Amino acid sequence: MTSTLDTCDDAKAARVVADFPILARPTARGKRLVYLDSAATSQKPLAVIAAIDEYYREYNANIHRGVYEIAERATATFEAAREKLARFVNADPREIVWTRNATEAINLVAYSWGSANLRRGDAILLSELEHHSNLVPWQLLAERTGASLRFIPVDDRGELVLDDLDALLRDCKLVALAHVSNTLGTILPLETIVPRARRAGAVVLIDGAQGAPHLRVDVAALDADFYAFSGHKMLGPTGIGVLYGKRALLEAMPPFLTGGDMIRRVEYARTSFNDLPWKFEAGTSNIAGAIGLAAAAEYLNALDLDWVRAHERALTGYALERLGELEPRGLALYGPRDPQRISGVLSFNFADIHAHDLASILDTEGVCIRAGHHCTMPLMEKMGWSATARASFYVYNTRADVDALVDGLAKAARIFKI
Amino acid sequence: MDDDFYRDYILDHYRNPRNFGHLEHPDASADDTNPLCGDRIAMELQLTDGRVSDVRFSGKGCAISQASASMLTESIRGKTLEEIAKLPKDVVLENVGIGISPTRMKCATLGLRVLKSAAIGRIAAWPDEE
């Protein structure tokens, strides 16, 4: 990576913007759409929209059954999509299970692997910054099995404190961590934690909902047992996600949802189950979603994940600088202040203006940000924030978007007489 | 939402909420949270001869929810619980509802919902959904 990448590649960013039809549509107030909520869901490039459109127009048919031409094409394209996602994270296609989203992928592990492997006295280790989707399933699993929950603490800048990691890992059967914090953007030190967790004998699950869209993921190098992510946050459609799981673990796990397509032979009294990965894909899958997600992965590959990271890092650096100008007027920035430590997410509050009021005023200028607890209520409680405003960046954001955010905040300051 | 939504009197009620705090021995009370955003409001009522003789609210949240609750507390003295239970949503929307977006309607009506909950002794329906 060269340092020039970190000075914002505006020319390439402008070409990227042109790939996203929604960004060319002004808001109802005639403002340019400034979309800074990609941590909630990303926009979709024409390539993804076209791939979904093509499936429905040209070869819509169910998969794994029909022998006619369009059914063969649907099956081949659906399974090719799986291979593309496998390559995207450096896995074997048999280790790629389609789910609705990262949440469903985590629930699959909690119900299937968790219920079969956890006992009273076992511990599950999470961090204090987890999204509810990587907390609630484990709370329920702990209730069902008698296992206990532990948490790696975070410091006041949103970085994990690893001082007591060895003690936390004792008798720990499962470690489930975010790749990137959706609230603060913190990139978790997985390269430090995962090997120690594996040495301690724990199975490791990574919630990659905020990781896979932004950082190059290599599950083989990461050596996590499970990696869960959602399509819609990485330029793909909603309703499709991926659970990567190590083959031996997936083979040994009982099915989660049951029904059609996941079976080998069904008798009235008993059933034998299909091979991986179909064992975990009951019912007709989101075929268009998988095809759309594969188009998104190809689009990201063509952009180059290293460029994506460098672009977001440069933009984050610029945003930290511009938002820093407002600190004397009461802007409080949360999370790590180092663009190297953040993946395109900035959380903040501005003087006594509530985050929802900020979001409403920014909306009048076409600027879309998120306000609230970001599905991390325990973290908010710990930090003492009732709500924060969150701006998040992706491939189609430019410095002009950051400027629009700062101008909108200046407007909010005028309205609130700060 | 409109640009000029945050008028001076809304900011004044947000920064200087009226009847803010707690009663020592409330005769009726309720509290609730807007699950969308986590805004919180509690309402406490004191009754004399069946009518509201004192009121306090407390809470945390955006300018709309807090100003709306503050203004509401200024208009309910002398009312019976039955009258409060029947208050129309316009009682708050006249103050803060102009130009508000549908998703923020809950912010404007949270205080009224909590007040009505205190009056009927259980969680009331959202006023904007009645």
Residue B127: count other Cβ atoms within 10 Å of its Cβ.
Answer: 23
Dist. CA A178–CA A165, nearest whole Å:
16
Question: Which helix (H) or strand (E) segment is A34 a member of?
Answer: strand A34-35
- The answer to whether B3 contacts A356, with C-beta atoms less than 8 Å apart, is no
**Which domains, ranges and CATH numbers included, belong to chain A?**
3-30+304-415 (3.90.1150.10), 49-302 (3.40.640.10)
| A362 pLDDT tier (thresholds 50, 70, 90) | very high
pLDDT in tens, A238-270: 999 999 999 999 999 999 998 888 888 888 888
**Residue keyed to tokens 């109802």:** A28
Dist. CA A395–CA A142, nearest whole Å:
39
Measured between beta carbons, the chain B residues lying within 8 angstroms of A417 are 11
Instruction: Name the closest residue on chain B to residue A389, using Cα atoms.
Output: B37
Q: How far is B110 from chain A (nearest CA, A)?
A: 14
| A377 interfaces chain B, CB cutoff of 8 Å | yes
What class has domain B3-119?
alpha beta
**Residue keyed to tokens 């406490």:** B44
- The answer to whether A353 contacts B61, with C-beta atoms less than 8 Å apart, is no
Dist. CA A184–CA A376, nearest whole Å:
10
Q: How far is B56 from chain A (nearest CA, A)?
A: 21
Q: CA dihedral defined by A344, A358, B128, B119, rounded to 10 degrees?
A: 110
Q: How far is A238 from chain B (nearest CA, A)?
A: 21
- In eight-state DSSP terms, residue B4 is G
- Which percentage of chain A shows pLDDT scores above 90? 90
pLDDT in tens, A148-180: 999 999 999 999 999 999 999 999 999 999 999
| A5 pLDDT tier (thresholds 50, 70, 90) | very low
| A354 interfaces chain B, CB cutoff of 8 Å | yes
**pLDDT for the residue numbered B26:** 96
Asked whether A316 and A289 are in contact (CB, 8 A), the reply is no
Q: Tell me whether strands A367-368 and A34-35 are parallel, antiparallel or unpaired.
A: parallel
Q: State whether ipTM is beyond 0.85.
A: yes
Question: Looking at the DSSP assignment, which residues form a beta bridge with residue A37?
Answer: A392
**pLDDT for the residue numbered B51:** 96
Q: How many CA atoms lie within 13 A of A135 on its CB side?
A: 14
> Nearest to residue B117, comparing CAs of B24, B22, B41, B38?
B41
Asked whether A343 and A187 are in contact (CB, 8 A), the reply is yes
Q: Work out the average pLDDT over A74-79.
A: 97
Q: Is residue A375 annotated as part of the catalytic site, yes or no?
A: yes
Q: CA dihedral defined by A274, A275, A279, A280, rounded to 10 degrees?
A: -160
- The answer to whether B37 contacts A356, with C-beta atoms less than 8 Å apart, is yes
- The answer to whether B38 contacts A357, with C-beta atoms less than 8 Å apart, is no
pLDDT in tens, A53-72: 999 999 999 999 889 999 99
- In eight-state DSSP terms, residue A160 is B
Q: What is the 3-state secondary structure (H, E, C) of A48-83?
A: HHHHHHHHHHHCCCCCCCCCCHHHHHHHHHHHHHHH
Buried b (16+ CB within 10 A) or exposed e, A225-244: bbbbbbbbbbbbbbbbbbbb
| A3 pLDDT tier (thresholds 50, 70, 90) | very low
- The answer to whether A356 contacts B5, with C-beta atoms less than 8 Å apart, is no
Measured between beta carbons, the chain B residues lying within 8 angstroms of A356 are 37, 39, 61-62, 64, 104, 107
User: What is the edge-to-edge ordering of all strands in the sheet holding B51-60?
Assistant: B28-33, B40-48, B51-60
Instruction: Per-residue pLDDT tens, chain B, 130 aa: give them.
Output: 666 778 889 999 999 999 999 999 999 999 998 877 778 999 999 999 999 999 999 999 999 999 999 999 999 999 999 999 999 988 888 878 667 778 888 889 999 999 999 999 988 888 877 7
Q: Tell me whether strands A203-207 and A34-35 are parallel, antiparallel or unpaired.
A: unpaired
